[in-house]
């Protein structure tokens, strides 16, 4: 957490101040507790006046400050922290030494997410990201996630570098890895509901399309049969076609299977389809003959 949002600054007495700065009050309290439990150090809580919509100022949590040189040295040594070469951040951590154990890797990932991560509402979409001021930090963290079996993406956004996920499964795995079990279960519940809704919608759309296709085919078949009846007469057709034409006129909404069951003797779906196709071909031939006579 210090390597993500901590920095060393010079104070007025030519000494140094270790600052852990974040806009998240809960993260600030977590850092305060960890410093006290780990190093027996009580950090000073600094405030900053923040302008609110141009109507005066409001006090807000700003940073934890450690001013004692011995305390700063203990924190830097314990966290394997050193001053970085990057102007954007004055501290960096030797993760190669710290993160040899898997539990330490997961704790590091959790700390980075608390300080630099955001998670969108899963009801609207799946997106989790962590933002870094320098590319080296983003690449190192992406490699750490890959070592945990995840597949993060990296992008450049103005002057920052983002490591992000857009797959629900990957985000759920990351939440579980960080120990955010309740959040992971909440997200899984949302995912299940969305999958069920999508499955139902696909099924309804498929059934609607099939019904529409069946209705269109039935309307065309009835039109063909009526045209044959007016131009030729159904009694002039072979018996099998005449009976099928009569059934279709009597039951325009029936499916091919239902028409086959009503036939005497009963025939299969393919047989019904074959006879209706023959009726359609006869109607098309009669139409062509009429067009030729008209010419």
Beta bridge mates, 81: 93
Structural domain of 288 = 212-294
Q: Model confidence over 183-242: pLDDT tens digits? A: 889 888 988 898 898 899 999 999 888 888 888 888 999 999 999 999 888 888 899 999
Q: Are 75 and 2 in contact (CB under 8 A)?
A: yes
**Is residue 61 in a domain?**
yes
38-65 b/e with 16+ CB inside 10 Å = b?
ebebebeeeeeeeeeeeeeeeeebbbbb
Domain boundary among 45, 61, 86: 86
SS3 85: coil
Q: Of the candidates 67, 86, 105, which is a domain's last residue? A: 86
The number of domains in the chain is 2
Boundary (domain end) residue, out of 34, 65, 86: 86
- Give, as one character, the DSSP assignment of residue 13: T
- The answer as to whether 247 is a domain residue is yes
CA distance 115 to 21: 9
Strands of the chain, DSSP E: 6-10, 16-21, 44-51, 57-66, 81-82, 92-93, 117-119, 128-132, 153-157, 160-165
Q: Examine residue 141 and state whether it is found in any structural domain, yes or no.
A: no
Report yes or no on 279 lying in a domain: yes
pLDDT single digits (tens) 142-175? 988 998 889 999 999 888 899 999 998 999 999 9
The percent of residues in the chain predicted with pLDDT above 90, rounded, is 27
Domain presence at residue 98: no
Share of the chain above pLDDT 70, in %: 88
129 inside domain:
no
Residue 222 has a pLDDT of: 92
- Which of 2, 57, 59 shows the shortest CA–CA distance to 28? 2
C-alpha 56/C-alpha 183 separation (Å) is 37
Domain assignment present for residue 199? The answer is no
How many angstroms from the chain centroid is the CA of residue 233? 61
**CATH number reported for the structural domain that contains residue 74 in this entry:** 3.10.28
- If one counts every other C-beta atom within 10 angstroms of the C-beta of residue 244, the result is 27
The answer to the question of residue 216 being in a domain is yes
Strands of the sheet with 57-66, listed across from one edge? 6-10, 16-21, 57-66, 44-51
């Amino acid at each position: 957490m210090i390597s993500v949002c901590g920095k060393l600054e010079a104070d007025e007495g030519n000494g140094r101040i270790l600052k852990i700065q974040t806009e998240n009050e809960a993260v600030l309290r977590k850092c305060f507790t960890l410093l006290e439990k780990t190093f027996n150090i009580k950090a000073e809580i600094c405030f900053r006046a923040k302008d609110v919509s141009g109507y005066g100022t409001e006090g807000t949590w700003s940073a934890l400050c450690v001013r004692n040189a011995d305390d700063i040295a203990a924190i830097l040594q314990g966290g394997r922290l050193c001053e970085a070469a990057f102007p954007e951040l004055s501290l960096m951590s030797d993760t190669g030494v710290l993160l040899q154990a898997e539990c330490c890797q997961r704790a590091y990932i959790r700390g980075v997410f608390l300080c630099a991560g955001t998670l969108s509402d899963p009801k609207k979409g799946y997106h989790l990201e962590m933002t870094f001021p320098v590319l080296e930090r983003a690449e190192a963290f992406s490699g750490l996630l890959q070592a945990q079996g995840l597949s993060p993406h990296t992008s450049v956004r103005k002057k920052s570098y983002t490591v992000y996920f857009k797959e629900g499964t990957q985000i759920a795995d990351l939440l579980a890895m960080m120990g955010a079990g309740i959040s992971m279960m909440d997200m899984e519940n949302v995912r299940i509901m969305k999958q069920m809704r999508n499955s139902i919608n696909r099924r309804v759309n498929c059934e609607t399309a099939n019904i529409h296709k069946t209705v269109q085919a039935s309307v065309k078949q009835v039109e063909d049969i009526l045209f044959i009846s007016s131009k030729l007469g159904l009694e002039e057709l072979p018996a099998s076609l005449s009976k099928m034409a009569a059934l279709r006129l009597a039951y325009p909404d029936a499916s091919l299977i239902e028409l086959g069951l009503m036939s005497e003797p009963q025939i299969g779906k393919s047989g019904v389809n074959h006879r209706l196709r023959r009726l359609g071909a006869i109607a098309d031939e009669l139409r062509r003959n009429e067009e030729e006579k008209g010419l």
